[in-house]
Amino acid sequence: MNVAVILFNLGGPDKLENVEPFLFNLFNDPAILNLPSFIRYPLAKIISKRRAPVAKKIYQELGGASPILKLTQEQASSLEKSLNNKQKSFNYKVFITMRCWHPRASETVRMVKDFNPSEIILLPLYPQYSAATSGSSILEWREIAKKNNFNINTSTICCYPEDTKFIKAHTELIRKKIKGITNFKLIFSAHGLPEKNIKNGDPYQWQVEQGVKRIMEEINDKSIDYILSYQSRVGPLKWIGPSTEDIIIENSKIGKHLVIVPIAFVSEHSETLVELDIEYEKLARNNGCKNYTRIEALGINDYFIDGLSNLILNKDEYRYKNNLYPPKNRCPSNFTKCPCLN
């Protein structure tokens, strides 16, 4: 039996001339700009044109293109191998869909149709659920599949912020990095969101907090000075905090060795390779930091890939409703954007 697994990620421009259309796709998403299409479309055009020059400089730091597709392909290959090694009676094939660049859902649907699966499993590479990331990607897939009359039994693993292997992967990486160092501040940095998104019921911040709590419980060292902060703020709206920049400045000034953990990013891309590695390290050095360490994104970490394959193979243990497979530790009822509550 053929089983198709669809990995969702944001995507990134594959060359500098595609930076502006990539940004347009990002801001034309109703989950990002919740406006009527006749307003959102021209506004997305204006925003993407205005931001393209700065964004191009960021991607120039990466050699002129985002590495995210190549790295996601490596994750897909590792996951496919893990699944087929563990479950010999099914033929698993892992596909990739990017929300804002290629391969888009419309391209992937055609490839999956050619594979002719009996079941499709949707798996976002966003450990924590947000309507702006996982929610948007899943919705687009469903709309494109419906448009193409592709009515295959589809299961959705919406998030895994406290998955045992996800937590283990982070725990082991942190332990290795902090071994032997003193006077350090452990900073978990996640992508931020406008505060209004959380007030409107998005569970993202709560899920990030639960994951960090579980990691620190697993490390089991109460002497560690740690904090969760949020990066990548853009625009005039108030965003959730504290900001990673503020935490870096504050702890650099008192001589802390900074250890940064990208808790919501499982692939290296501009937010890790440029924002964390270049911009934030420079900010730290300019404020007196002598030692700055950034822990790598999980990528094809053995624990992480093993955890993803277990989520797929053991999904019937935590089925909820409508082919939705959320964590057993469900979001509180006030987070109405959580798919379990819809």
Largest CA distance in the chain: 60
**Sign of the CA dihedral with 321 first, then 313, 211, and 252 last:** negative
Strand partners, 3: 92, 119
The pLDDT of residue 235 is above 80: no
Strand partners, 138: none
Instruction: State pLDDT tens for residues 268-323.
Output: 999 999 999 999 999 999 999 999 999 999 999 999 999 999 999 999 888 888 89
| Residue 234 exposure: Cα atoms within 13 Å on the Cβ side | 13
The pLDDT of residue 23 is above 80: yes
Tokens standing for residue 342: 């819809």
Report in angstroms the alpha-carbon separations of 223 from 186, 216, 257, 263.
Answer: 11, 11, 15, 20
Instruction: State pLDDT tens for residues 29-80.
Output: 998 988 899 999 999 999 999 999 999 999 999 999 999 999 999 999 999 9
| DSSP run (H or E) holding 248 | helix 244-253
Q: What is the mean pLDDT of the chain?
A: 96
Domains of the chain with bracketed CATH: 2-10+67-161+301-341 (3.40.50.1400), 164-294 (3.40.50.1400)
CA angle 125, 55, 129 (to 5 degrees): 20
Q: Which pLDDT value is given to residue 188?
A: 98
CA angle 317, 320, 324 (to 5 degrees): 100
Lowest mean per-residue pLDDT among 23-27, 32-36, 115-119, 331-335: 32-36
Q: Which pLDDT value is given to residue 22?
A: 96
Q: Are 263 and 192 in contact (CB under 8 A)?
A: no
Nearest to 96 by CA among 107, 85, 86: 107
Q: Which pLDDT value is given to residue 139?
A: 97
The pLDDT of residue 338 is above 80: yes
The pLDDT of residue 200 is above 90: yes
Exposed e or buried b per residue across 92-117, where buried means at least 16 C-beta atoms within 10 angstroms of its C-beta: bbbbbbbbbbbbbbbebbeebeeeeb
Contacts of 38 (CB under 8 A, 6+ apart): none
Q: How large is the C-alpha radius of gyration of the chain?
A: 20
Instruction: State pLDDT tens for residues 131-183.
Output: 999 999 999 999 999 999 999 999 999 999 999 999 999 999 999 999 999 99
Instruction: State pLDDT tens for residues 71-87.
Output: 999 999 999 999 999 99
Unique residue bearing structure tokens 């490390």: 219
The DSSP result for 169-182, as a single string, is HHHHHHHHHHTT--
Q: Which pLDDT value is given to residue 73?
A: 98
Q: Which pLDDT value is given to residue 146?
A: 96
Q: What are phi and psi of 319, to 5 degrees?
A: -60, 140
CA 142, distance to chain mean position in Å, is 20
Indicate the pTM of the whole model: 0.96
Q: Which pLDDT value is given to residue 236?
A: 82
- Helix and strand totals (H; E) in the chain: 12, 8
